[in-house]
């Protein structure tokens, strides 16, 4: 009897251990919020670009590129930026592509460390953070902000779908940038006011424009400040002093 009892207990323990292992394995396979969001994004794109994806597959292509025509900004001078908007120096921490609920368009969100505010606009809205900001970027630290652009890249059914502005804004993770911006949501959303022309990569004190050098704002920063961050910073400080 004792032998039979011991064997029975042993079998119960073994089966219990197996069930526990299966439960752990099942839990580890559960989808994360990021997995769920990715699946939703893919379905939105699958619905929107169904015919394009089918054509790409039939033709043996693995990439689908869609160009979006941008709307020109009416902010075209550094004087406008300093007078009405903000100048912020940031570092890119992370990025994520999302799909808009309204029209299924791709958007790229960047999580930024705000390193310096050279110039702050007079009024900043107190509106809440945009609802479709990536949830994994939230909550933000006091020193962080969000920046988003139209366009991005996602893979659906083996086809890479890319949506690009005709004048795209592409930021590199780990790099620093100076952005001419309209700050909203208590300063947590950093909106580019001059599009790509108002964004400069920062390397030491050197400003490297992302926009074409023939554009007015880009040319002014080169002519007035020699593309030097220290010179721009000094001019902004001097203007602040005169405003007092």
pLDDT at 214: 93
Residues of the chain under the 50 pLDDT cut: 1-14, 16, 19-20, 23-25, 27-28
pLDDT at 75: 94
- Contacts of residue 146, Cβ cutoff 8 Å, sequence gap at least 6: 109, 110, 111, 112, 129, 130, 133, 137, 140, 188, 189, 190
Question: How many angstroms separate the Cα of 226 from the Cα of each of 192, 193, 211, 219?
Answer: 22, 22, 16, 10
* Residues 25-70: tens digit of each pLDDT: 454 467 786 777 778 888 888 888 899 899 989 999 999 888 877 7
* pTM of the full structure: 0.81
Nearest CA-CA partner of 118 in 176, 169, 72: 176
Nearest CA-CA partner of 171 in 145, 138, 140: 145
Separation of alpha carbons 214 and 60, rounded Å = 40
pLDDT at 10: 44
User: What 3-state DSSP class applies to 119?
Assistant: strand
pLDDT at 21: 54
Residues 185/127, Cβ–Cβ less than 8 Å: yes
Q: Return phi, psi of residue 179, to 5°.
A: -125, 130
pLDDT at 3: 44
Q: Check residue 185 and give left, alpha or beta (phi > 0: left; psi -120 to 50: alpha).
A: left
Residues 192/169, Cβ–Cβ less than 8 Å: yes
> Containing H/E element for 159?
strand 159-165
Q: Return phi, psi of residue 16, to 5°.
A: -65, -40
């Amino acid at each position: 009897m004792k032998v039979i009892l011991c064997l029975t207990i042993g079998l119960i323990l073994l089966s219990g251990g197996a069930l526990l292992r299966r439960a752990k394995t099942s839990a580890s396979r559960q989808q994360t919020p990021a997995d769920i969001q990715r699946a939703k994004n893919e379905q939105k794109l699958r619905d929107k670009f169904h015919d394009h994806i089918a054509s790409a597959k039939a033709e043996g292509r693995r990439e689908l590129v869609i160009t979006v025509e941008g709307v020109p900004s009416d902010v075209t001078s550094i004087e406008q930026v300093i007078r009405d908007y903000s100048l912020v120096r940031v570092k890119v921490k992370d990025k994520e592509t999302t799909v808009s609920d309204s029209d299924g368009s791709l958007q790229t969100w960047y999580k930024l460390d705000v390193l310096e505010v050279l110039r702050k606009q007079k009024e900043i809205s107190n509106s809440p953070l945009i609802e479709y900001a990536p949830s994994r970027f939230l909550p933000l630290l006091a020193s962080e902000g969000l920046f988003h652009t139209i366009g991005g890249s996602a893979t659906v059914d083996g086809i890479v779908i890319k949506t690009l502005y005709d004048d795209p804004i592409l930021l590199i993770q780990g790099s620093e940038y100076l952005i001419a911006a309209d700050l909203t949501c208590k300063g947590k959303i950093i909106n580019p006011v001059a599009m790509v022309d108002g964004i400069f990569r920062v390397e030491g004190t050197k400003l490297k424009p992302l926009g074409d050098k023939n554009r007015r704002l880009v040319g002014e920063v080169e002519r007035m400040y020699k593309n030097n961050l220290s010179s721009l910073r000094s001019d902004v400080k001097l203007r602040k002093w005169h405003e007092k």
